[in-house]
Amino acid sequence: METLTASQKMSQAKDFLPINGTDHIELYVGNAKQAAHYYKTAFGFQSLAYAGPETGVRDTASYVLKQGKIRLVLTTPLKSENPISEHIYKHGDGVKILALWVDDAYKAFEETTNRGAKVYMEPVTKTDEFGEVRMSGIYTYGETIHLFVERKNYKGIFLPGYKEWKSEYNPAEGGLLYVDHCVGNVGWNRMNDTVKWYEDVMGFANILSFDDKQINTEYSALMSKVMSNGNGYVKFPINEPAEGKKKSQIEEYLEFYEGEGVQHIAVATADIIKTVRELKARGVEFLNTPNAYYEDLLNRVGKIDEDIAPLQELGILVDRDDEGYLLQIFTKPVEDRPTLFFEIIQRKGAQSFGAGNFKALFESIEREQAKRGNL
C-alpha cells in the first residue's frame, strides 16, 4: 500500500457520486460589497453575478466572482435576524459552502444521506428562463456544507435567482485557474471520524497521511490526511492539532473560528512567479520564507526549471515527490481572525501537498502567531 503514489491511491476511491470538480465556494462575510472589492482588486477575480434586494432577494446580498474555473460567492445578511448573522457572529468571515459539481444532485443526496450524511438541504430544482439547476446539500465538519450542484440543463450566468453583474471596475486577472484543494481543520481526536466520513459517506480515498512526527516544529505539531475523490478533481486535506510545547496553529484556528472549518483554499496557477509578483503588488500579504530555506534548496528538491532568485525574492516554496515537483506559497489570513487563508500552487507533476515544506511553513506561521500573542 505505502508504495503506491498519490495518483494510484486516488483510483481506489469508490466514485458513486461522481464529482466533476468544485462548482463554487461560498463565504459568509460581514460586508460582501467590500469583500468583493478586495477579491477583485487583490486577487484579480472578475465580477460575474449578483443576487440581492435589486433582484428580489430580501434578506441577503451575494456577489459572485470568477477567475479561471474558480467561482467565489460572497454572501452577507441584511439584518441581524438571520442564521447567516449568527454564523458570522460566531465564526467571523469564512467558508460556509464547498459546492461540488455533480451529474445528479438528487442521486448524490440519496447516496450520501443513505450512508449517514446529515441533511442541510433536501433536493430542490430551481428554474428561470435559462433552464434548471438541481441542488441538494449535506453537512461536513463543523458547520461547513457540501452542496451538490447539477447544472447540465442550465445556460444562465450562475444559478437561478442571480443576475449578471456588470461592473465598470474590472482589474486584470491574477492568473488563478482552478481550485486545487481545500483544507479543513478539525478538533482534537476528530481526524479518524472525519476521514472515515469521507470514505464511507462520500466514497473518497485517503491518498496521503502525515503524523505529528513528520509535521512538527520546536513548538507545535499537527496531523494531516488528504482525502480525494476518484478522478482527483476534489481533494480535501484534513488537519488535526497534536500536542506540542506550545499552541499549534490548528488550535489557534479552532479557538478563533470557534469550531471546525475551512483553513485554506489552494488555487492553481500556471506561472507562480508572475502570479505572486502581481498579487503582492496589489496588496495580497504572503507569509515570509527565511533566506536559509533557499541555501540548500536544490540539494533537497533536485533540478527545477525556475531560477532560485525570483523564488527567494517572493518567498515561494518548492517540494518534490515521486511524480514531479510543485511550487507553493501561503497568504496571511485574509480577515482579522487568524482563520482562513489562501495558497497559490503550481504543480509540475507532483500530486502531493508540499510535506517537505511543512516545517518551513509552520515556522513562518508561528512567527505570525507569536506576533498575535497566540503561541
Residues in the site for Fe ion, rule: CB under 5 A?
A: 266, 343
- The secondary structure of 104-143 as a DSSP string is -HHHHHHHHHHTTPPEEEEEEEEEETTEEEEEEEEE-STT
- Closest C-alpha among 95, 368, 369 to residue 251: 369
- Residue among 88 and 329 whose Cβ is closer to Fe ion: 329
Tally of helices (H runs) and strands (E runs) in the chain: 11, 17
How far is it, in rounded angstroms, from Cα 225 to Cα 233? 17
- Name the residue with cell 470514505: 199
Q: Report the nearest approach of Fe ion to the CB of residue 220 (Å).
A: 18
In Å, what is the CA distance from 122 to each residue of 137, 158, 197?
7, 20, 20
- Residue among 115 and 348 whose Cβ is closer to Fe ion: 348
- Residue among 266 and 311 whose Cβ is closer to Fe ion: 266
- Residue among 278 and 343 whose Cβ is closer to Fe ion: 343
- Residue among 61 and 279 whose Cβ is closer to Fe ion: 279
- Residue among 262 and 301 whose Cβ is closer to Fe ion: 262
How far is it, in rounded angstroms, from Cα 240 to Cα 220? 12
| Strand 317-321 with 235-242, pairing | unpaired
Q: Report the nearest approach of Fe ion to the CB of residue 351 (Å).
A: 13
Q: Are 345 and 267 in contact (CB under 8 A)?
A: yes
Q: Report the nearest approach of Fe ion to the CB of residue 319 (Å).
A: 11
- Residue among 266 and 314 whose Cβ is closer to Fe ion: 266
Q: Report the nearest approach of Fe ion to the CB of residue 264 (Å).
A: 6
Burial per residue of 161-192, b for 16 or more beta-carbon CB atoms within 10 angstroms, e otherwise: ebbebeeeeeeebbbbbebbbbbbbbbeebbe
- The secondary structure of 288-319 as a DSSP string is ---THHHHTHHHHH---SS-HHHHHHHT-EEE
| Strand 341-348 with 261-269, pairing | parallel
- Residue among 123 and 184 whose Cβ is closer to Fe ion: 184
